[in-house]
Amino acid sequence: MVKISIDWVKAEKKPNRSQRVKGKHLLELRTKIADLEHQLQKKLTTVTNLSEEVTNLNMNISQYEMFLRTLEKMLKTQNTLTLERFEQMKKDLKQQLV
């Protein structure tokens, strides 16, 4: 890594004062800033995509939960009907045996 010849301490103490910096160092700094901005943009895109994916997955989970509740209600209804039918058949058999 090349060390840029900018006196950062001096710049912080007197930000309005000019410093002599080689154009080469300014170009290197500009390149580094551009690279960091590019990396940041890629990460923001990744975060956005992942956020959308999480939202879609949560919607799918909600739909599956609703479907599961519907199936559970149907199963309970079927079990109740089956139990009632069994009781009726048992009663009918008892009557036939008497």
For the chain, give every domain's residue range: 11-97
Q: What is the pLDDT of residue 78?
A: 84
Q: In which residue are the tokens 């912080």 written? A: 12
Question: Is the CB of residue 50 less than 8 Å from the CB of residue 33?
Answer: no
- pLDDT tens figures, 33-79: 999 999 999 999 999 999 999 999 999 999 999 999 999 999 888 88
Structure tokens at 61: 């989970």
Residue showing tokens 């080689």: 22
Q: How far apart are CA 1 and CA 14, in angstroms?
A: 27
Residue with tokens 């079990």: 79
Structure tokens at 86: 């069994």
Distances (CA, A) of 35 to 9, 30, 43, 57, 60: 24, 9, 12, 33, 37
pTM listed for this prediction: 0.57
- Amino acid in the structure at residue 52: E
Residue 1 — pLDDT band, cuts 50, 70, 90? low
Q: Name residue, tokens 């009726």.
A: 88
Q: What local confidence, expressed as pLDDT, does residue 96 receive?
A: 84
